[in-house]
């Protein structure tokens, strides 16, 4: 599984960072980015799905 | 005991919510959920001639569409009232909330860093301490068998105190700040001249505080605004005042309302109260669910130019309300939208707005809300309304929450 944050869509709601800080980080402006290359270890896949499902701006995409 | 005065309206009572609604009618916030549900089936964009013409879309789809459309809808005025501010786009009187692109982006970048998640997290111990000081006083009263007020004695003090500290304003002026908020956000359908006078009073206060910071520079948010550069220059003093107006006003009764509504829910739903007391790990999802269902903020826009919005003939300078709480309750968007599920895992709510104007203070508001509810239920695991719904006073206007919330603390 891989995750991506669309920086054009992200408005800094900070839901992903709160739900999955192992996968997402935020910059000084509160905008989200993926940690590393965006690949998700199997044990964090559920968290990644939750982060995507809680983003009000639909800024997170998940691909296999 | 409440001291709460419902503002005097120049309009009469509402006759029909679809064609003559008034969000400053005391019945509106009290019955908001039922009104939105009815309008969603009936309209779903209501119109009223009040305030020079106001539209009210209540579906998630429409609220979202307008929030994203900065061409047809300007943010230069965001509080529906009998007075349309003269401050022109794209800056407006309280940037960046009143700003449009492209200025908005630059103004927002100035104030995002002090409100980023990591900066805000530093405030947690102080917020927890403040909550406990308030609870100490309430506990003494509750032990004597007296009723306590979760809005007046608790919720209303938390955001005021925190923002005053952040801005470096005198903490003892907290009553004054609540008056400012009342004047701006609740006294919206009164005499326009009174409203102008209220704004002059606020401007004068802010200017005096700014001058004091110029003479006695210190490390706080006001000092920060006096130092930052925008387009290579320091901000003019009036613009510093505009930024501060936003920071002071926008964070106070919004968060106070969110805390109050969450405690209202727990006071009126014994099952959720007991579940949360027995399993504090539910707090994170519970807070998000309270934010979804009781989202305190309805934003507003002005129509930028005549245009047709899904068959609604919108005219330039008419108001459009953006009821994010109504969008959050739309069954077309949210499964079991009308049910409050404190363990809801997937919660894509827009309590803090959608699009470029996402609430600047959302990280602070979430922190204050979570800590305030955590500490309250830790201290008072069981409580109920002391005088039923009759004892609860709801705010009027775009910010929805209890202004008086008398509760009886129950002992095991």
**Residue B180 lies inside a defined structural domain of this protein:** yes
Number of domains making up chain A: 1
**Residue B6 lies inside a defined structural domain of this protein:** no
Q: Say which of A11, A28, A54 has its CB closest to residue B348.
A: A54
**Which single residue is written with the structure tokens 């409203």?**
B195
Tell me the CATH number at B70: 1.10.630.10
Find all residues with CB under 8 Å of B40, minimum gap 6, and list them.
B58, B59, B326, B330
**Residue B20 lies inside a defined structural domain of this protein:** no
Q: What tens digit of pLDDT does each residue of B60-98 get?
A: 999 999 999 999 999 999 999 998 888 999 999 999 999
Q: Say which of B113, B345, B354 has its CB closest to residue A28.
A: B113
Question: φ and ψ at B273, to 5 degrees?
Answer: -60, -45
Nearest chain A residue to B348 by CA: give it: A54
Across the A:B interface, residue pairs with CB atoms under 8 Å apart total: 54
**Residue B128 lies inside a defined structural domain of this protein:** yes
- Which of A13, A21, A31, A48 is the mutation pick for testing B, counting most B CBs within 10 A? A13
A14-27: average pLDDT: 97
- Which of A9, A11, A24, A49 is the mutation pick for testing B, counting most B CBs within 10 A? A11
**B102 preceded by cis ω (within 30°)?**
yes
Question: φ and ψ at B74, to 5 degrees?
Answer: -100, 150
**Residue B5 lies inside a defined structural domain of this protein:** no
Residue-level pLDDT at B1: 37
DSSP string, A1-64: -EEEE-TTT-----HHHHH-TTTEEE-TTS-EEESTTSB--GGGHHHHHHHHHT-TT--EEEE-
Helix (H, G, I), strand (E, B) or coil at A8: coil
Distance CA B388, CA B1 (A): 16
Tell me the CATH number at A22: 3.30.70.20
**Residue B4 lies inside a defined structural domain of this protein:** no
Nearest chain A residue to B109 by CA: give it: A29
Residue-level pLDDT at B190: 84
**Residue B159 lies inside a defined structural domain of this protein:** yes
Ordered mean pLDDT values, 10 residues apiece, chain B (412 residues)? 66 91 94 96 94 97 98 96 90 95 96 96 97 97 92 97 97 94 90 91 96 97 97 95 94 96 98 95 97 98 98 97 98 97 98 98 98 97 96 96 97 72
Number of domains making up chain B: 1
- Which of A9, A14, A46 is the mutation pick for testing B, counting most B CBs within 10 A? A14
Residue-level pLDDT at B412: 60
**Residue B19 lies inside a defined structural domain of this protein:** no
Q: How far is CA B371 from CA B131, B374, B375, in A?
A: 8, 5, 6
Which of chain B's residues have a Cβ under 8 Å away from the Cβ of A28? 112-113, 116
Is B350 in contact with A50 (Cβ distance < 8 A)?
Answer: no
* B105 in A contact zone (CB under 8 Å): no
Range of the domain at B300: 26-409
Nearest chain A residue to B344 by CA: give it: A54
For residue A37, the distance in angstroms to the closest alpha carbon of chain B comes to: 22
Q: Say which of A11, A14, A27 has its CB closest to residue B363.
A: A14
Spatial CA neighbour of B178 closest among B157, B201, B195 = B157
**B96 preceded by cis ω (within 30°)?**
yes
Range of the domain at A15: 2-63
């Amino acid at each position: 599984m891989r995750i991506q944050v669309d920086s054009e869509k992200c408005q800094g709601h900070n839901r992903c960072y709160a739900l999955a800080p192992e996968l997402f980080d935020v910059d000084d402006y509160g905008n989200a980015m993926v940690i590393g290359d965006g690949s998700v270890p199997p044990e964090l896949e559920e968290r990644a799905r939750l982060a995507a499902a809680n983003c009000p701006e639909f800024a997170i995409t998940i691909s296999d | 005991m409440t001291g709460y005065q419902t503002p005097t309206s120049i309009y009469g009572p509402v006759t029909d919510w679809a064609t003559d609604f008034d969000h400053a009618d005391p019945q509106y916030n009290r019955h908001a959920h039922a009104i939105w549900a009815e309008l969603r089936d009936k309209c779903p964009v209501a119109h009223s001639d009040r305030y020079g013409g106001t539209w009210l879309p209540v579906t998630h789809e429409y609220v979202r569409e307008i929030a994203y459309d900065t061409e047809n809808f300007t943010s230069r005025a965001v509080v529906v009232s009998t007075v349309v501010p003269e401050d022109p786009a794209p800056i407006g009187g309280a940037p960046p909330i009143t700003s449009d692109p492209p200025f908005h982006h630059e103004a927002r970048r100035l104030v995002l860093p002090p409100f980023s998640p990591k900066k805000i997290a530093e405030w947690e111990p102080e917020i927890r301490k403040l909550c406990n000081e308030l609870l100490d006083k309430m506990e003494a009263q509750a032990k004597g068998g007296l009723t306590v007020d979760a809005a007046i004695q608790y919720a209303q003090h938390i955001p005021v105190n925190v923002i005053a500290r952040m801005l470096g304003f005198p903490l003892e002026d907290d009553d004054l700040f609540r008056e400012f908020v009342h004047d701006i956000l609740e006294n919206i359908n009164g005499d326009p001249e009174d409203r102008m006078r209220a704004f002059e009073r606020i401007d004068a206060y802010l200017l005096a505080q700014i001058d004091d910071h110029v003479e006695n520079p210190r490390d706080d948010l006001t000092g920060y605004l006096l130092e930052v550069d925008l387009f290579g220059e320091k901000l003019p003093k009036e613009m510093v005042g505009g930024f501060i107006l936003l920071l002071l006003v926008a964070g106070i009764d919004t968060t106070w309302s969110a805390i109050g509504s969450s405690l209202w829910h727990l006071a009126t739903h014994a099952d959720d109260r007991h579940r949360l007391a027995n399993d504090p790990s539910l707090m994170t999802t519970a807070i998000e669910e309270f934010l979804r269902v009781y989202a305190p903020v309805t934003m507003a826009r002005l129509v930028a130019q005549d245009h047709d919005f899904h068959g609604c003939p919108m005219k330039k300078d008419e108001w459009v309300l953006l009821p994010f709480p109504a969008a959050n309750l739309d069954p077309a968007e949210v499964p079991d939208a009308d049910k409050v599920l404190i363990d809801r895992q997937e919660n894509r709510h827009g309590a803090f707005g959608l699009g470029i104007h996402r609430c600047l203070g959302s990280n602070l508001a979430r922190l204050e809300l979570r800590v305030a509810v955590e500490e309250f239920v830790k201290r008072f695991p069981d409580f109920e309304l002391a005088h039923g719904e009759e004892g609860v006073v709801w705010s009027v206007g775009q910010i929805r929450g209890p202004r008086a919330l008398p509760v009886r603390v129950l002992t095991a």
